[in-house]
A and B are shown apart, each in its own frame.
Chain A
Amino acid sequence: MPETNAPGIQGAPIRTKTNGAATAGAQITFLEAIKQAMFEEMERDPAVVLLGEDVGVYGGAFKTSEGLLERFGWERVMDTPISESAIIGAACGMSYLGLRPICEMQFIDFIVCAFNQITNFVAKGHYLWNAPAPMVIRGPSGGGVHGGPFHSANPEMYFVHTPGLKVIYPSTPYDAKGLLKAAVRDNNPVLFFEHKFLYRRIKGEIPAGDYTVPIGKAVVRREGRHLTILSYAAMMHTSLEAAEALAKEGIEAEVIDLRTLLPLDEETILNSVKKTNKCLVVHEDTRTGGIAGEIAALLCEKAFGDLDGPLLRVTSLDTPVPYAPTLEEYFLPNAKKVFSAAKELARY
């Protein structure tokens, strides 16, 4: 990929066309979309409450809940102790009485402090004793902002491996708002990952009225015929950027934004791969045990005869997220790496 054609997601705010949002509305940031979703859901339903560390007076570490305490008061916007297990556990208990709590993990890295509570208590309740837990666990995730090994995680796959949870990882403001609203209204526990690199860097158009985006549906962001690139969150933008560069060399990549990782939209994936016959998966999560492996298995099971080449993947390294910018940049996937992998795959 020629350097001159690499504007890079690290650069200026990326203006992205949102899917399906035809109505003229304001251009808002990813972060504003999340704030709007919480605000509107709390406005719509008094059973919706928010709890987390510094979500009240301070408005959240990233200001995603700014103004919510002011509007909805102390009972509905609860600053909690630094106790992730207590936050998740209490939200689960609240959901049993018909509330729909939203839990904020100040950084999604800290979600693993409540791993047992989520995977054993929250996720298994409906299967075991017919107890739905309508709750949302959300928080800022992902790297590229030099947050270091404990503020940059992509822990989605721990939870994709947990039956009973739904896992969402959006890439546009439109989807962030619509999917978060859908998550609040869902009867199941939903994990909602917010890539913090996107918070203030991307803007998108949002329709004026209420809308939701269905959980479990991927979306084709760019149509193409030579290969399929599957991605999500920040890497979706990286993949689109690579696809533009590929187009200049005559390779038309179809870019699909998975949006929901659990349940995975097998239909959209299979339809695309059956058309392009080649598949590249791009994720910021580390390599081993990432969603690419699961997709490889899916394609082997259901589209083996359609494949004209191996499934390739562009991922982060199998290391913790390093701190120094030079190290982190080397660790993360980027458009150039996606471009190279796609070119290699296109040769088959």
Chain B
Amino acid sequence: MKKDLTRQQHLDLYYFMRLNRAVEDTMVKLFRQNKIVGGLYSSLGQEAISVGTSYALQKKDWLAPMIRNIGALLVKGVKPRDIFMQHMAKYDSPTKGKDGTSHFGDLDDLHIVSPISMLGDLIPVMAGVALAGRYLGQKIVAMTWIGDGGSSTGVFHEGLNFAAVQKAPFVLILENNLWAYSTPVRKQVPLENLADRAKAYGIDSYIVDGNDVAAVYSTAKEAVERARAGEGPILIEAKTFRRLGHAQHDPAEYVPKEMRAYWEARDPLALHEKFLTSEKLLDTKSKKEIEDKINTLLAAERDFAENSPMPPAEFAETGVYCPGDECHKIRAKWERPISEVTPPKSSVAAVWTVPGFGAGKGSSGAHAPIHFGDTQPSTGISASEVKSTNGGKPAAKVTAKTAAKKTLKAAAASASRKARR
């Protein structure tokens, strides 16, 4: 699978992981100098997930980060200075000091939706983004992330279920970093594999080693393209570990030493560097060049950020409402004929035949006939299953395999999927 990637892709992934880590290292320094306003959260050891998943998106696609997805923002095109300024509450930051951390977005160019601190709320929002994209004919995919802890929220269920019902082109990355603040995953979810939750929504899922950036990318790439092709939402569980505390203030003494040692030996950046070196994709010289490039960039970005002023106090009173066109000209970008969604073409006969009735997917991944005698029994569609190969420990990515019981239609779908790879 690693061989599927081009040298440039491998090097891009390496660059963005290094950049991700260097940006966060810089912020730790700023934090220790009391230049960060509020808390500082770290994605140390989880960079492969942010970078690998977002790297699978196209420019037109939409993403919504969580607090540990700085890497995804960098891949999508956010400048490090914006991340620094957000954390320093500067006036030139994307939110002009009104919010901090990764809480910012860009509707017009980068297609990023800002998160809020309440976990899970992004899931229905990104389902809506995906549905609007489909409605407008844009052929986009929406992606967001959730943690093992965030998967316990009610809105996780509401959002994923709604996305599944609507077959929204939506990819949800479940970063299982084993800890939600001080609460271990075992007290969040009574499952070995959180990907199993996908079964409840009749959607497909993958389990991937979250510390293997190439595996994360390949998995995300496949999921993104399947979602784009209309196969509905896909859940990816990326198994990893939160190396630092919940935030800077938290020494995370509740984490067993052996567990920390195990994961520290599996640092995603070191693993990828080792792979690149062994494959002769990266030598000392080019590594030095990448380091220098990042150091030069971040020095300039940090300077810019530090020189930005704090917002003027009275700015607090502005911007609660959008006064109208002079503030935002809201226009949907249609990439399909409007005539398809307006009468007479949009109109349907009032003899209701509800689409999807009689076509549910069973928990085995195979097709469940929902049949009350008034509709035809449903015919199967291909279903994929994933299994963890080693009982939930950091698992190698398992590619989707088609369910054993295939119908003709399933075989065709399977064949077309293979053709796409």
Which residues of A come within 8 Å of B, CB atoms?
43, 46-47, 49, 57, 69-76, 78, 80-81, 83-101, 116-117, 120-121, 124-132, 134, 163-164, 166, 187-188
Contacts and interface: CB of A to CB of B under 8 A. Distances in A.
A280 B334 CA distance: 51
Given A97-B133, A98-B330, A127-B320, A89 B121 contact: yes
Contacts of B103: 128-129
B158 interface: yes
B136 to A, nearest CB: 6
Contact of B343 (A71, A83, A125, A126): A71
A81 B116 contact: no
A90 B159 CA distance: 8
B346 A83 contact: no
A86 B331 CA distance: 23
A80 B162 contact: yes
A89 B129 contact: no
B350 interface: yes
Nearest to B126: A93
A51 to B, nearest CB: 9
B228 to A, nearest CB: 16
Interface residues of B, number: 62
Contact of B330 (A69, A78, A132): A132
A126 B341 contact: no
B129 A96 contact: yes
B321 A164 contact: yes
A284 to B, nearest CB: 27
A91 B128 contact: yes
A96 B107 contact: yes
B294 interface: no
B161 A86 contact: yes
The dominant DSSP class at the B interface is loop
Given A87-B124, A99-B332, A134-B330, 16 more contacts: A47-B332, A72-B346, A80-B165, A85-B154, A86-B161, A90-B124, A97-B136, A100-B330, A117-B124, A117-B155, A120-B121, A126-B321, A127-B319, A127-B320, A129-B99, A187-B322
B46 to A, nearest CB: 24
B125 to A, nearest CB: 4
A75 B320 contact: no
B159 A85 contact: yes
B354 interface: yes
Query: Taking each of B121, B347, B355, which has the highest tally of chain A beta carbons within 10 Å of its own beta carbon?
Result: B121
Contacts of B104: 128-129
- Residue of A70, A87, A130, A188 contacting most chain B CB atoms (<10 Å): A130
Contacts of A120: 116-118, 121
B161 A131 contact: no
A117 B168 CA distance: 20
A94 B124 contact: no
B214 to A, nearest CB: 31
A85 B117 CA distance: 16
Contacts of B105: 129, 131
Contacts of B116: 120-121, 124
A121 B321 contact: no
B132 A86 contact: no
B319 A71 contact: no
B95 to A, nearest CB: 5
A190 B334 CA distance: 25
Nearest first, the 8 A-B pairs at minimum CB distance are: A93-B128, A89-B124, A90-B128, A98-B332, A73-B346, A83-B158, A97-B132, A86-B162
Interface in B372-416: none
A90 B162 contact: yes
B162 A93 contact: no
B154 to A, nearest CB: 7
A187 B328 contact: yes
B246 interface: no
A40 to B, nearest CB: 13
B348 interface: yes
B5 interface: no
Interface in B105-162: 105, 107, 113-114, 116-118, 121, 123-133, 135-136, 138, 142, 154-155, 158-159, 161-162
A71 B347 contact: yes
25 contacts: A46-B334, A70-B348, A72-B342, A72-B347, A75-B135, A84-B158, A86-B155, A87-B124, A87-B162, A88-B124, A89-B158, A90-B162, A93-B129, A93-B130, A94-B135, A96-B107, A96-B128, A97-B133, A99-B136, A126-B319, A128-B103, A132-B328, A132-B330, A187-B323, A188-B322
